[in-house]
Amino acid sequence: VTEDGPADGDGNPGVERDGAAGDDPPEAYADLVDRVERHRAIEDAAGHLRWDQEVVMPAEGTPARARQLAALSAVGHDVLTDPATAEALDAVAALTTEDDAALDPERAAVVREVRREHDRAARVDESLVEELSAATSEAHPVWRDAKEDADFDAFAPTLERLVDLRREYAAQVEPDADPYAALFHEFEPCLDIDTAERILDRLAHELPPIVEAARADSDGTADPATGDGTAVPTIEPATQEAVVRELLDGLGYDWDRGRLDTAPHPFSSGTPFDARVTTRFDPDDPLAGITSTIHEFGHATYTQGLPREHYGTPLGEARDLTVHESQSRLWENHVGRSRAFWEWAGPRIADHAPAAAAVDPADWHRAATRVEPGPIRVEADELTYHLHIVLRFEIERDLIRGEASVADVPDRWRARSTDLLGVEPGNPSEGALQDIHWSHGSFGYFPTYTLGSVLAAQLWAAMADDVGREALHGHIAAGEFAPIREWLGDAIHRHGKQYPTDELVERATGEPLRADAFLAHVRRRYATGG
Amino acid sequence: VTEDGPADGDGNPGVERDGAAGDDPPEAYADLVDRVERHRAIEDAAGHLRWDQEVVMPAEGTPARARQLAALSAVGHDVLTDPATAEALDAVAALTTEDDAALDPERAAVVREVRREHDRAARVDESLVEELSAATSEAHPVWRDAKEDADFDAFAPTLERLVDLRREYAAQVEPDADPYAALFHEFEPCLDIDTAERILDRLAHELPPIVEAARADSDGTADPATGDGTAVPTIEPATQEAVVRELLDGLGYDWDRGRLDTAPHPFSSGTPFDARVTTRFDPDDPLAGITSTIHEFGHATYTQGLPREHYGTPLGEARDLTVHESQSRLWENHVGRSRAFWEWAGPRIADHAPAAAAVDPADWHRAATRVEPGPIRVEADELTYHLHIVLRFEIERDLIRGEASVADVPDRWRARSTDLLGVEPGNPSEGALQDIHWSHGSFGYFPTYTLGSVLAAQLWAAMADDVGREALHGHIAAGEFAPIREWLGDAIHRHGKQYPTDELVERATGEPLRADAFLAHVRRRYATGG
């Protein structure tokens, strides 16, 4: 209710439609785009309501919010699977065989992406969608309580039901595929599961000795916070916020199209017009607040870099989770954990937090690259993180393929955690219950975290070839981040979903996605102390 | 993009459905309720996006937000006008003739309200809805520029087009009615236009002498800020915020189901689970920030008082604009401008703002009840405000009835403003261009502001009869607001839309809506200085 006038309508200028294509599209294509844009707008509306829920919603707002999100999910699904959308796709497909009305490559890419998304959604029975939705709703409190009680058995029947439903879902959505691949494609539709498996297997074998070497290195030092040198001091949240706002300014975050808030679990979300980041501040661990903010900046700068004239179609959307995670990890790890970065950032932090004045760039860098295996994924360092992913990937893959049972999970977790990380969870809350993903019915999500880091290293290597490794170092130390943003904008951001992931990676780096650059990077940084 | 897990799904507990009714509803009714709940959820989602736009959205977020709101408006309209909704309504109507499956009064009220809303929406051509939407989008910047340039002629053709479209809309939505009545019913479906006209005419005649008497009173004093006594000092926004948070605590705002933010144009919005208020703080006018916050609290406490078990159906919705405005005006004027209120609030303000320590309750009260005619509606006092409404009502009514032309508006405005208020706008920006409503294509909205104030006085009189006028005074002076909240909750909030407005007013006050109590209130406060 407005004090002072009607709240309906808005009178705002719209997005300029299809600006890059120039000529008027065929009518069938224009009709398809109307439907696609409506679907995108509904999804983005839901995204903002989730932001609101995590950041500003009052404590008791949940029941109404759940209704609102369920309604948007239902009407979004209806728009996508509407028979009229299939008809529009068919009408456009017919067009492409006539020379005079054929689509240009950008429009053809839109049709390719919408076709995939439509077909996947339309192949699944409505009743299964509802069953999955109900099952995940019920699963969440069961998982939360089981985690609190460290009681895997309390969650096991729920997990079994989710695995069964997801196997059924996989059989419907890609009837001829390996079921785990079908689920992986929910999050990463444009990479094949063999690529993912090959990369994860390689890391499973090659990372542990690097971890061992890096640990030995840090074992020789006395200070638990930084390895050696001066420890990072406690910094109050308000001061940390001033610090990360200045760092975001320097990195090139566009505040007119974004904002920074705090949230219990940091995330980023939004559109190219409004790409927000969240972070959290632990007084005792200022480094975590800084690296988490840089990570989310990487996501947001991808979103801000998408072509706004294509907002609403796949050409204005990010290329799925692997590429998104490559942007966050590139900024977090290749920029934000580099020695050069701390030469720039260190003095800026000291300006706000005098207690940090004695922490020199080498101290910050040591703290940011400290390696210490532990049971918890979200607390893991740049190296051991991927062994956590291997562990989850192997178990969920075998569950979905029917090659392992839920009852086996705790034993497998313990055994494989010991193999890979040399640590055993103290209880199931530090083991298979620690992550929310399975309680959401999300299987096949975890690999994208590692694939994103692997792609980040491959992009960074290609950028270093173009710009020069020393020049990159110089730019970062001087706080000149525009060359990095521009290289990524040109190689990745501006393309939206024009190319499938594999083609995008080849175009940007000259090679298919593989682990070489990542392993070279971690060997350089951790095995030689470089 | 989450750093740390999937953002889809939520696993929140839902609203307990239809909790008050007890027995299982007939299937046709349950089907109708599913559709209605989805419609409500979509509308509320849009409401939160508008809150976001006014309160937290970054500067350049507008184009994407406009798309999102347009999409939600379209799918909400589709759900409401879906032929299946009409079929569900017919199936329920058929039920009521069979004794064993007849609906109880609450469910019958749901059907009555949905039927009206569905029929109104379904009677309007899709093409007219789109034309109106486009016209209001185009109108907004034209109005804004014309207002900035104080150039009525620049807005006139746009206003003509909006009047024509709204006349066409009125003819479609209520073919047999007076067109102005049809538009009034968009905002106030359950009162007839004769009631509104009768009340506004009476105020047009009876208020001016009261204004004259009240002015003469304040003319005798020297201090422009307070009439006499000690002036209200400048108070910094941060201090004002601390003040109004404490006042909201005292009034009984439920922070677990709401929040306070600032916005350029204060408003309130949300659901019974999440009813938010906004305000603004002008350092030079702390009284405005306090009264505006109390006004929005009145709206929000109505929303918070709606029965949550009925969230999603009309039984869980507020009864339109007149009743909503009665709640805000009751708290703003009958509580917040009373002498008793300042006995309670004054010392609390002084605790935060020592500069206000010399302002005694009588000073605050004088400042809060100062009368001074001026050209601007939103700056008007409790008395002259309604003469502004009369002015707009008469002109828009005649425009919509085809009894006046847009070209006549500036002259009529000047002449009638002089009659009613004794002031003439210095230019069109202080005249017919000052309000946003017409640029939104909103005609028939203005009367609800005055009807709300009139109802507030009528409710207050009924409450005083029940509780005792002196007892009410005592409660307020002691900061005991629960008796007021409870009386309103019982008389108004808990009923949602169960009763039409006229019946709700009769039940709450024993009389139909009329201006007597309002005029008695303002005579008591302003003509006798009481």
Q: Per-residue pLDDT tens for A147-157?
A: 999 999 999 99
Q: Which helix (H) or strand (E) holds B275?
A: strand B274-279
List, in sequence order, every residue forming a beta bridge with B227; answer none if it has no partner: B223
Looking at chain A from residue 414 to 453, which residues have their Cβ under 8 Å from any Cβ of chain B? 435-437, 439-442, 445
| Per-residue model confidence as pLDDT tens digits over A175-212 | 999 999 999 999 999 999 999 999 999 999 999 999 99
| Strand pairing category for A260-262 and A274-279 | parallel
Whether B2 sits inside 8 A of A139 (CB atoms) is no
Q: Quote the CA–CA distance of A163 and A147 in Å, as a whole number.
A: 18
| Per-residue model confidence as pLDDT tens digits over A335-374 | 999 999 999 999 999 999 999 999 999 999 999 999 999 9
End-to-end CA distance of chain B: 60
Binned at pLDDT 50, 70 and 90, residue A221 comes out as very low
Whether B12 sits inside 8 A of A65 (CB atoms) is yes
The per-residue pLDDT of chain B, averaged, comes to 92
Angle (nearest 5°) at CA B308 between B304 and B312: 110
Structure token pair of residue B80: 């409401």
pLDDT greater than 70 at residue B219: no
Mean pLDDT over A62-89 rounds to 94
> Is B256 an 8 Å CB contact of chain A?
yes
B524 Cβ contact partners less than 8 Å away, ≥ 6 residues apart:
B530
The per-residue pLDDT of chain A, averaged, comes to 92
Query: Å from A147 to nearest chain B CA?
Result: 15
Whether A309 is a known active-site residue: answer: no
What pTM, to 2 d.p., does this model score? Answer: 0.93
pLDDT of residue B218: 55
pLDDT of residue B21: 46
pLDDT of residue A220: 43
Q: In B, which residues are within 8 Å of A53 by CB distance?
A: 10
pLDDT greater than 80 at residue A35: yes
Residue numbers of B annotated as active site: 296
| Per-residue model confidence as pLDDT tens digits over A399-455 | 999 999 999 999 999 999 999 999 999 999 999 999 999 999 999 999 999 999 999
- Cβ atoms of B409 and B395 closer than 8 Å: yes
B21 Cβ contact partners less than 8 Å away, ≥ 6 residues apart:
B104, B106, B107
- Percent of chain A at pLDDT exceeding 70: 91
pLDDT greater than 50 at residue A282: yes
Q: Quote the CA–CA distance of A269 and A262 in Å, as a whole number.
A: 13
Output helix, strand, coil percentages for chain A, rounded to the nearest 5.
70, 5, 30
Mean pLDDT over B248-277 rounds to 97
End-to-end CA distance of chain A: 60
List, in sequence order, every residue forming a beta bridge with A262; answer none if it has no partner: A279
| Per-residue model confidence as pLDDT tens digits over B304-325 | 999 999 999 999 999 999 999 9
Q: Which of A33, A67, A165, A435 to mutate to test the interface with B (most CBs of B within 10 A)?
A: A67
Whether A58 sits inside 8 A of B2 (CB atoms) is no
pLDDT greater than 70 at residue B10: no
ipTM of this complex prediction, to 2 decimal places = 0.92
What is the per-residue DSSP string for B18-31? Answer: TTTT-SPPPHHHHH
Write the burial class of residue A124 (CB in 10 Å: 0-12 exposed, 13-18 middle, 19+ buried). middle
A295 Cβ contact partners less than 8 Å away, ≥ 6 residues apart:
A266, A328, A329, A331, A332, A336, B3
Among chain B residues, CA nearest to A379: B4
A248 Cβ contact partners less than 8 Å away, ≥ 6 residues apart:
A255, A260, A277, A293, A297
Residue of A296, A332, A394, A430 marked catalytic? A296
pLDDT greater than 70 at residue B487: yes
Looking at chain A from residue 372 to 391, which residues have their Cβ under 8 Å from any Cβ of chain B? 378
- Cβ atoms of A418 and A476 closer than 8 Å: no
List, in sequence order, every residue forming a beta bridge with A260; answer none if it has no partner: A277
List, in sequence order, every residue forming a beta bridge with B267; answer none if it has no partner: A2
- Cβ atoms of B498 and B316 closer than 8 Å: no
B227 backbone dihedrals φ, ψ, rounded to 5°? 90, -60
pLDDT greater than 90 at residue A97: no
Q: Quote the CA–CA distance of B397 and B163 in Å, as a whole number.
A: 11
Q: Quote the CA–CA distance of B367 and B362 in Å, as a whole number.
A: 9
pLDDT greater than 70 at residue A55: yes
Whether B63 sits inside 8 A of A12 (CB atoms) is yes
